[in-house]
Amino acid sequence: VPSYYSQRLAALTPGFSGADIANVCNEAALFAARTEEAQVTMDHFEAAIDRIIGGLEKKNKVISKLQRRTVAYHEAGHAVAGWFLEHTEPLLKVTIVPRGTAALGFAQYIPNENLLMTKEQLFDMTCMTLGGRAAEKVLIGAISTGAQDDLEKVTKMTYDQVAVYGFSEKVGLLSFPQREDSFETSKPYSSETGAIIDNEVREWVNKAYERTIQLI
């Protein structure tokens, strides 16, 4: 049992600091105390990790059956896409329980420790990120605003591939990194190059979305 505990808890807490782990232990002990149990079990530890990652569970939050169904399909879409794609981060847990920082649920993955990423790896990760929107489209026949954060991630990931990493043959071996601390309004390339970048990003995202639709 101790060996299982250590392996399971290590998998559930990637990137946690010593203080974070101490917080998990304290929260787990509180969960056990609330139910008047003599021992802290894995269920208590997992509940504590969920609370620290996602915030307090909103038990009084009322969600309609349609919304809950939509969220379930959305999160399942990420999970299924990630399961069948070779180069994605392993899924640890998916939930549709509303929490403080996850209003409609969340999925937890083991972070990728690769320092270098290939075009194929990033394409798979793009498809997994689009899995929620694709699942809504295929299984419900309608899309929701739930994919906003996913689309932001996909947009940035794809722009980086095209305009920063030199993965696009049409743009070439050029790199135009976005500097967050820069106040410059002008871009270091022409409007023609900007149009090529935009078209490439749109084409790559559409290709990933179509692949994910077929996968779902």
- DSSP per residue, 76-119: HHHHHHHHH-TTSPPEEEEE---BSS-BTBEEEEPPP--SS--H
**78 and 127 in contact (C-beta within 8 Å)?**
no
Q: What are phi and psi of 21, to 5 degrees?
A: -65, -40
**Single-letter residue type at 122:** L
User: What is the widest separation between alpha-carbon atoms in the chain?
Assistant: 69
Element (H, E) at 201: helix 191-215
Instruction: Single out the catalytic residue among 27, 75, 89, 200.
Output: 75
Question: Catalytic residue at 75?
Answer: yes
Which active-site residues does the annotation give?
Answer: 75
